[in-house]
Structure 1
Amino acid sequence: MLQNLNVKEFIDELSSNSPAPGGGSAAALSAALASALGSMVFNLTINKKAYNEYEEDIKNNILKSLENTNSNKNEFLNLMDKDAEEFLELMSAFKLPKNSEEEKNLREIKIQDGYQKALEIPYKVANKAFELYKYIEIAAKYGNKNAISDAGVAALLIQTAVESAVLNVKINLSSIKNEEYKIEIEKQCKLIVEEGTAKKNSIIDIVNSKL
């Protein structure tokens, strides 16, 4: 499993001539890193003087945010592995026999199914990464000021994950024949990139105002 490799091993694997892991796994890793940075900011905030002076609802939001960033970082690591697995499944569909019309039809069905499954993982990464913004915004607003830059880096990594995942959705989507499905996914991808950019900029503004 990719998530069990050390950093150098993963980078070496990523740089090899193997098509997986690739950009989809890198997108999921970016989201995992954003989650981890969020957790770090919250862990450096809880029970500190400024935290103890917050109202209970703010304290609760910080605690819930920590819980979510902790669970999300593990889910993104699983998605990093899943992305590579689905891509390899798609590649195996291309190796199916095509000696008869029946075999050709079955192969085409498997390929189309493979493309759809391959794009569903980065699509999930993009949407789940976008959800991280609400936690990182809390980190930027209420986190330990000594770690405020880390909240900013987390926001940048979220948008990297969102846009990188969307690119991986698009490259698989281009081979999908269901036009209605393609139009809907493309619309949602455009929306999440635009909204993500706005949220990222808003958080960076908060961070810069505290530096």
Structure 2
Amino acid sequence: MIREKKIAEFMEEFASKSPTPGGGSAAALSGALGAVSTCMVASLTVGKDDYADVQEEMEELIDATTQLKEDYLDLVNEDMEVFGEYMDALQMPKETDEEKELRDKTMKKASIEATEVPFTMAKKSVDILKQAVIAAKKGNSHAVSDAGVGAIEAWAALEAAELNVNINLAFMSDEEYVAEKRKAMEELKAEAKELKEEVLKITNEKIG
């Protein structure tokens, strides 16, 4: 899986005609990069005398972003798995009424799972951005640009995840689920945008 691959191998698979990894995996990888970039700021802060008053907070930030990185790597694998399940559902027979009913039921379940994975990525992007705000405000000022990079990567992950959510919703007939998920996605994006802009404002002000 993703942890066992070299970056070059992953990129080659991505560029090939193989259906996975795809856009969902790209979103998750961007999120993981956002997490580790934010973590880097805290790592460069811990142990510095000038930042003695934020040591505990930075250690907590390291723990949080390390876990987020792990979560995102898991989501790369989950994205590929749920896409495979959806493709399998598409290939199910549909000759009889019973077969059609089972296929429709299986596809609906697979579609929801394929939507929930990128939606989870979007939620975790917000979590990264919250950590990036702390890193930008209180972390080592010499590494503040990395907090900005973390925010940009997290925002990219969210926007990429949103596209994957939306393309799945476009083919769903459950209007209530679609409306609920679109509303939740809009709310996440609005929150994420504010956080991203806050991080970049702090970052650019400190850079000068």
TM-score under structure 2 normalisation?
A: 0.96
Map of 1:43 onto structure 2: 43
Report the identity percentage.
39
- Between the aligned partners of 1:83 and 1:4, the Cα distance in structure 2 is 16
Alignment of 1:81-96 (within 5 A): 81-96=77-92
Map of 1:167 onto structure 2: 163
Structure 1 unmatched ranges of 5 or more: none
- Between the aligned partners of 1:184 and 1:50, the Cα distance in structure 2 is 47
Aligned: 1:12 with 2:19: no
Aligned CA RMSD, in angstroms, stands at 1.0
Structure 2 unmatched ranges of 5 or more: none
Map of 1:3 onto structure 2: 3
Q: 1:144 offset after TM fit, Å?
A: 1.2
Map of 1:62 onto structure 2: 58
Map of 2:132 onto structure 1: 136
Q: 1:2 offset after TM fit, Å?
A: 2.3
- Match of 1:21, SS? coil
- Between the aligned partners of 2:2 and 2:167, the Cα distance in structure 1 is 22
Contact 1:38 1:139 in 2 (8 A): yes
Map of 2:23 onto structure 1: 23
Q: How many residues align?
A: 207
Map of 2:196 onto structure 1: 200
- Between the aligned partners of 2:104 and 2:189, the Cα distance in structure 1 is 31
Q: 1:30 offset after TM fit, Å?
A: 0.7
Map of 1:148 onto structure 2: 144
Displacement over 6 Å in runs of 4+: none
- Match of 2:38, SS? helix
Which residue identity lines up with residue 17 of structure 1 in the other structure? K
Specify which of 95, 113, 120 is matched with residue 116 of structure 2: 120
